Chain A
Amino acid sequence: MATGVAAWLPFARAAAIGWMPVANCPMPVAPRDNSKRQDELIILNVSGRRFQTWRTTLDRYPDTLLGSSEKDFFYNEESKEYFFDRDPDAFRSILNFYRTGKLHYPRHECISAYDEELTFFGIIPEIIGDCCYEEYKDRKRENLERLQDDQEENKDQKLPNMNFRETMWRAFENPHTSTMALVFYYVTGFFIAISVITNVVETVPCGTTANQKDMPCGERYTVAFFCMDTACVMIFTVEYLMRLFAAPSRYRFMRSVMSIIDVVAILPYYIGLVMTNNEDVSGAFVTLRVFRVFRIFKFSRHSQGLRILGYTLKSCASELGFLLFSLTMAIIIFATVMFYAEKGSSSSKFTSIPASFWYTIVTMTTLGYGDMVPKTIAGKIFGSICSLSGVLVIALPVPVIVSNFSRIYHQNQRADKRRAQKKARLARIRISKSGSGNAFIQCKRNGLLNELLELTDTEEDEQKLLTKSISLLESQHHHLLHCLEKTTAHEFVDEQMYEQNCLETVLPNYPSRSPSISSQDSSAGTCCGRRGKRNSPLPNASLPSTHQGPLQELSAIHIQCGDPPFHTASRSNLNLKTDNSGRINCKGGRITTAIISLPTPPALTPDGDGLHGPPQRRPLPPPGHPATPSIQTTSSSAGTNIVKVSAL
């Protein structure tokens, strides 16, 4: 609803005069403004602080508390003001929404308190302006997460019906849930530490015996170390198998990083068992033992920090990649230069460009081992340039990378957030927009229903019950849209109907115009008659007499369709039963179909005079009136009682 620009509605309606000379059909009657109130000041007393505003300001948004009659509940007779027992500070921004059309979120306000106020006054938070919307959503999400954290602690309670497998999995994932889990957690951690220390100590040279040279402990106490290794691997294997058994989705578990680390940690031992002590493969075997160091990564299950580090490295990968790339470029450049500069000198260590890589790296990272030194003057000059640029190339990007990483990380989060919010917001705005368009179509149906009831003399109360009471503003807006329909002789329909009509136009044309159509087209006649009827509430002069005509048509509708006179039902009749009529309507050209006979003189039928011009969709008054008031579905050959349905 264009409530935000409600103040301009009189202008839009006045400008509609521009359509009048172009229109060929008469216009509908404008809704009367019965309550011709002067614009008055309303006093809103919110917990003692008085706000004053014009009544029309509040009326701009009729679906909120202050804009509708809901505020009458808060009216205080003695002091002639509306009293609300709410927070006056939050009320300021709500009242500003009515005044300016934009809702702002005050940053000092608590998010849940503000939400409550909005809900109380019937304002949906999505209207918050772009300037404040992001902040609002962020705070709301934070709040939600905080509440969620509180909830999650309660979530770890044991659910009643968990089988053994689920209990085990829960124990593995959250060690704090039970004592057993905690014990298991610490035991595995202990054994990981033991295993790592064993690997390290294995290579330390132990004390010497007189006859043998220094040998590492591993070779001296082979058996002891072997037992230790076996024990650790046993524990790890058992742990892995238990996790595999308890995992809810085994395939997913096997693909996860942690399980791969587990496998890599214990595999060398088994491979070592399988392989014989062959000279050839023992080299490979030694390499495999390197992989035992990966057991240290098992600690990441125990440490949150390691996991975060891994995640952040992963997310910062592109920046690190770029750093690496630029470093590689610099290294290659300088290595090439140094090689050619030092080519001349004798006994130069710079034997090839790849050999110079080592020098470049050592120099650029300001390590300077001194195992490769340039001897020529040119080499020394370029060497110094290399080390200077090394400082720049390495030292500068690192803090930039760090801060870049932190900024990009937060920004990414925010960008994704904003994108998700935007989509949702746009979807909601689109829905409300289509809602406003649909509101008009709904109103048409309700209006028709209303008129039907009116004419069949139902009680006023029943009538009121069936129609939603719409504000004057809405009725004026609908009247404006109705005038546009009349000007262009087309109607607004909703998406569904449009799709259906489009489908029907695709269907092949109806082959013949035999009289057999006419009986089927009686319902087309019905809808034409009905549609014609809808044009009726226009000319005030012919108002009393037209009641007769439509009444006859109505009785026709009643008898014909046999359905209750609901717009939707007969509309669907139009679309279901007679797809012919749909097709016929969409096809070009004129087709004569049968009609409902009206025993009323042509002058009194609606729109009797609006006949000039082709775009007509109304029943022409029958030149000859059959005496019987019943439905006559006469064939087109009869000539009389024709409804011209010209397609547009």
Chain B
Amino acid sequence: GLLLGAATLKNTLLEKDAGDSVEDELELSAVRHRPEGLEQLEAQTRFSRKELQILYRGFKNECPSGVVNEETFKDIYSQFFPQGDASTYAHFLFNAFDTDHNGSVSFEDFVMGLSILLRGTIQEKLNWAFNLYDINKDGYITKEEMLDIMKAIYDMMGKCTYPVLKEETPRQHVEVFFQKMDKNKDGVVTIDEFIDCCQNDENIMRSMHLFENVL
């Protein structure tokens, strides 16, 4: 009687395990992601076939599953800034790239973002930058949001800088930014103020063209 009971128990456990493993497999295959075809991407972005191929190979090498989650993204981005802490800024960047807010950046998101940044018009680029700064995506950049972004940027510099980084440096920088951008002094920067102001600033205009030959 005891043996029988033990045998049936074991069987039920095994079945449950098998069921679990099937479900697990389904989950795993959902995580694997295949991008849309080459032609579609070619049509949607401003990259040529060859460039898309190169981009995809690099992307898939780093993320064999086809999607980047935030941890991997932070990891990769931090490797470019060994002296500081790039994770906060990487978080904001991730949100800017993850346009459908599903927690992962697929190759399409990646390539759309890059297309705007590298081959887009000035308007589109500024739009993208505004989107990056507007953390809660409500159409207004407040001082708090800008302060967060600024702190994240200064975090990337790390500790060993010249001159020594002070506590109020990001805040001061935000003040300067708002002085420049906030024309009607209402404490927030809207997209129009932003684009207007940037278009009138030579420096910014020039720097927008800086990375055009990146690929």
Residues of A within 8 A of B140 (CB): none
Q: Are A22 and B153 in touch, CB under 8 angstroms?
A: yes
Q: Which of B80, B113, B114, B164 is most buried by chain A, counting CB atoms within 10 A of its CB?
A: B80
With beta carbons under 8 angstroms apart, the residue of B54, B160, B204 that contacts A497 is: B160
A433 interface residue (CB < 8 Å to B):
yes
Contact flags (1/0) for A594-638 with B, using CB distance below 8 Å? 000000000000000110111100000000000000000000000
Q: Are B50 and A615 in touch, CB under 8 angstroms?
A: no
Residues of B within 8 A of A490 (CB): 154, 157, 161-163, 165, 169
Chain A residues within 8 Å of chain B by Cβ, number: 69
Residues of A within 8 A of B203 (CB): 23-27, 609-610
B210 interface residue (CB < 8 Å to A):
yes
Residues of B within 8 A of A434 (CB): 82
Contact flags (1/0) for B68-109 with A, using CB distance below 8 Å? 000000001101111100000000010010000000000000
Q: Are B81 and A648 in touch, CB under 8 angstroms?
A: no
With beta carbons under 8 angstroms apart, the residue of B149, B154, B159 that contacts A498 is: B159
Q: Are B58 and A30 in touch, CB under 8 angstroms?
A: no
Q: Are B176 and A488 in touch, CB under 8 angstroms?
A: no
With beta carbons under 8 angstroms apart, the residue of B118, B129, B161 that contacts A18 is: B129
Residues of B within 8 A of A495 (CB): 160
> Known interface pairs A8-B58, A32-B213. Does A493 touch B126 (Cβ–Cβ under 8 Å)?
no
Quick one: which of B99-143 are within 8 Å of A by CB? Answer: 110, 113-114, 117-118, 125-126, 128-129, 132-133
Q: Are B59 and A2 in touch, CB under 8 angstroms?
A: no
Q: Are B162 and A493 in touch, CB under 8 angstroms?
A: yes
With beta carbons under 8 angstroms apart, the residue of B50, B57, B125 that contacts A54 is: B57
With beta carbons under 8 angstroms apart, the residue of B110, B161, B181, B215 that contacts A491 is: B161
Q: Are B114 and A492 in touch, CB under 8 angstroms?
A: no
Quick one: which of A1-34 are within 8 Å of B by CB? Answer: 2, 4-5, 7-27, 29-30, 32-33
Q: Which of A8, A39, A505, A586 is most buried by chain B, counting CB atoms within 10 A of its CB?
A: A8
With beta carbons under 8 angstroms apart, the residue of A14, A477, A613 that contacts B118 is: A14
A481 interface residue (CB < 8 Å to B):
yes
Q: Which residue of A lies closest to B212 (CB)?
A: A30
Q: Which residue of A lies closest to B117 (CB)?
A: A14
Distance between A89 CB and nearest chain B CB, rounded to angstroms: 24
Distance between B90 CB and nearest chain A CB, rounded to angstroms: 9
Q: How far is the CA of A16 from the CA of B173 in the complex (A)?
A: 18
B67 interface residue (CB < 8 Å to A):
no
Residues of B within 8 A of A29 (CB): 210
With beta carbons under 8 angstroms apart, the residue of A10, A99, A437, A491 that contacts B214 is: A10
Chain A-chain B contacts (Cβ-Cβ < 8 Å), number: 173
Quick one: which of B193-215 are within 8 Å of A by CB? Answer: 194, 198, 202-204, 206-208, 210-211, 213-215
Residues of A within 8 A of B202 (CB): 609
Q: Are B166 and A18 in touch, CB under 8 angstroms?
A: no
Q: Are A27 and B207 in touch, CB under 8 angstroms?
A: yes
Quick one: which of A26-70 are within 8 Å of B by CB? Answer: 26-27, 29-30, 32-33, 38-39, 54, 56
Residues of B within 8 A of A9 (CB): 80
Distance between A60 CB and nearest chain B CB, rounded to angstroms: 9
Q: Are B213 and A436 in touch, CB under 8 angstroms?
A: no
Q: Are A24 and B82 in touch, CB under 8 angstroms?
A: no
A585 interface residue (CB < 8 Å to B):
yes
Q: How far is the CA of A610 from the CA of B202 in the complex (A)?
A: 10
Distance between B153 CB and nearest chain A CB, rounded to angstroms: 6
A183 interface residue (CB < 8 Å to B):
no
Residues of B within 8 A of A8 (CB): 58, 62, 76-77, 80
Distance between B45 CB and nearest chain A CB, rounded to angstroms: 13
Q: Which residue of A lies closest to B115 (CB)?
A: A14
With beta carbons under 8 angstroms apart, the residue of B164, B169, B173, B208 that contacts A20 is: B208
> Taking beta carbons and an 8 Å cutoff, which residues of B are in contact with A?
50, 54-55, 57-59, 61-62, 76-77, 79-83, 93, 96, 110, 113-114, 117-118, 125-126, 128-129, 132-133, 149-150, 153-154, 156-166, 169, 172-173, 176-177, 180-181, 194, 198, 202-204, 206-208, 210-211, 213-215
